Structure 1
Amino acid sequence: MKIAVIIGRSLLGLIYVLFGLSFFFHFIKIPAMPLAGREFQGALLKSGYFFQFLKITEITCGAFLLINRYTAFFLVIISPVTLNIFLFHVFLSPPGLTFVIMMLAINLFLGYAYRKYYHSVFTSVPLV
């Protein structure tokens, strides 16, 4: 299990760092997507801040996953991003869904692997 966690953590971190940096430096060619996906992505780009914030978050979380520091925390931060990427591909742009399902599976596996760090978050009555 330890080897699987290291591989999953490294793979997810690498994916987020590479795709985050590619937004700024354009070294990964993104294939054309259906009209609904392009319109949604265009609206987010027009906001002027959303994608920059998202990609910086992806790069930061991916880097911390790669160096294995604060991993449980950064998995919590990146999980909603992974879920939104998955939902985007399910509803607006089905091409690439296989890759995103793999990302979601790795994220869920890592969440399970680091579950002992989340026990205090799920207490019904916190001790103050």
Structure 2
Amino acid sequence: MKVTTTVIRILLGGLMVFASIAYFFNLGNPEQPVGKMAVFMEGLVASQYLLPLVKGIELIAGLALLTGIFPRITPLILLPISLNIALVHLFLDPKNLAIAFFAFGANLYLILQQWSHYQSLLKVR
């Protein structure tokens, strides 16, 4: 179980680091979005702050996953990002759904591996 958790943590961390570095340094020729995805991306770009903020959080969290520091808080920080990645691809860009669901599923797996540490946060007084 520990080996599986380590492999998933490194794969998810690598994915997040790669995606953020590719964004910040304009690596590769990403396929131009079409249809509703293009409209969605135009809105994100027009905000001028949201994509750099999300990619910055992805970079920091990805590095934390790769190095293994803050193993309990990092999956929680990535949860809203990975959920949005999965939902955006589910509704707007289904051809990239596999990677999106991997990111979300890996994130959920890492949270479930630490679940005993979160239970005290969820207790009702």
**Common topology (TM > 0.5):** yes
Aligned partner of 1:76 in structure 2 is 76
**Residue 69 of structure 1: SS of its match in structure 2?**
coil
Aligned partner of 1:114 in structure 2 is 114
State, as a whole percentage, how many aligned pairs show the same letter.
Answer: 27
Q: Deviations over 1:3-44 (max 9, x none)?
A: 000000000011001101111112243223331011111111
* Alpha-carbon distance between aligned partners in 2 of 1:69 and 1:28, rounded to the nearest angstrom: 30
* Alpha-carbon distance between aligned partners in 1 of 2:83 and 2:34, rounded to the nearest angstrom: 20
Matches within 5 A, 1:22-101: 22-101=22-101
TM-score after normalising by structure 1: 0.92
Conserved 8 A contact 1:33-1:95: no
2:4 corresponds to 1:4:
yes
Conserved 8 A contact 1:34-1:92: no
With over 3 angstroms needed to count, the CA separation of the structure-2 counterparts of 1:31 and 1:50, relative to structure 1, is same
Aligned partner of 2:105 in structure 1 is 105
Moved over 2 A (4+): 28-34
**Residue 5 of structure 2: SS of its match in structure 1?**
helix
Structure 2: 5+ residue stretches without partners? none
Query: How many equivalent residue pairs?
Result: 125
**Residue 52 of structure 1: SS of its match in structure 2?**
helix
TM-score after normalising by structure 2: 0.94
Q: Deviations over 1:38-95 (max 9, x none)?
A: 1111111111111111100000000001111111101101011000000000111111
* Alpha-carbon distance between aligned partners in 1 of 2:78 and 2:28, rounded to the nearest angstrom: 21
